[in-house]
Structure 1
Amino acid sequence: MTAYAMAHLRPVPPLHDGVFTYMERIQDTLDPFGGRFLVHGADAEVLEGPFEGAVVVIEFPDLERARAWYASDAYQEILPLRTDNIPGVAILAQGASPDHDSAALGRRMREAQAG
């Protein structure tokens, strides 16, 4: 099932040269794992709550490949170029199945909470 690497980054200008190196090298780390950018550094249209920074969403064929990419030697080599220079949060998440039913999930969660 499709998985996503997502980041909420809060870059502070001027950007460190290492950030540009990271950006120039990241695609080569994604390719072996089938990763592709869906959103990369786009300004978000904020609808609710406070939000500053940029959003990144990378799609992977599955969670195993997303984890393998993040743990790969190639990515770990460049990761400090971003983490040392741009504050933010990064997560991995599995996508919903094509037959996902939020109403059914809500009912199950309501029943479980009721005890």
Structure 2
Amino acid sequence: MTAYAIGHIRPETMNEDILRYIETIQSTLDPFGGRFLVHGAQVEVVEGPWPGTVVVIGFPGIAAARAWYASEAYQALIPLRTRHMEGEVVLVEGVPADYDPARTAAALRAGAGL
């Protein structure tokens, strides 16, 4: 099942460290089948505050996403970003192709006795 690394990033002024991070990150993703799905796009905020931008990287599965994040190559890059940008990064598993939110609601309803 596909998994994602999602970053909510609030960049500061562009500098050499950030540019080096952007130039190098794909080489850390390649061994794990990671690819950018969203990067550098302007967000359209429709609910709540959302300072900054979003990054979404897809992986073949959660194990690959975890292995990428823990990899020596990516861990070496992280300070280039964190010294100059605030943000949060999460790893999350996607849903299967046949996912039905109504089934999920029914299971939650049954579990809550509603």
Deviations 1:12-31 (A, max 9, x none): 2x223211110010000000
Query: 2:111, 2:84 → 1: CA distance?
Result: 43
Counterpart in 2 of 1:17?
A: 16
Deviations 1:66-88 (A, max 9, x none): 10000000000111111121000
User: Which structure 2 residues correspond to residues 46-85 of structure 1 after superposition, within 5 A?
Assistant: 46-85=45-84
Q: Percent of counterpart pairs with the same letter?
A: 52
| TM-score scaled by length of structure 2 | 0.95
Deviations, residues 29-52 of structure 1 (Å, cap 9, x unaligned): 000110000000211111111111
Where does the alignment leave 5 or more consecutive residues of structure 1 unmatched?
none
Render the CA deviation track for 1:73-114: whole Å, top value 9, x for unaligned.
Answer: 000011111112100000000010011110010111122123
Alignment root-mean-square deviation, CA: 1.2
Q: Does the residue aligned with 2:49 lie in a helix, a strand or coil? A: coil
Are 1:28 and 2:36 counterparts? no
Measure, in 2, the Cα distance between the counterparts of 1:43 and 1:110: 37
Name the TM-score, length of structure 1 as normaliser: 0.94
Unaligned runs of 5+ in 2: none
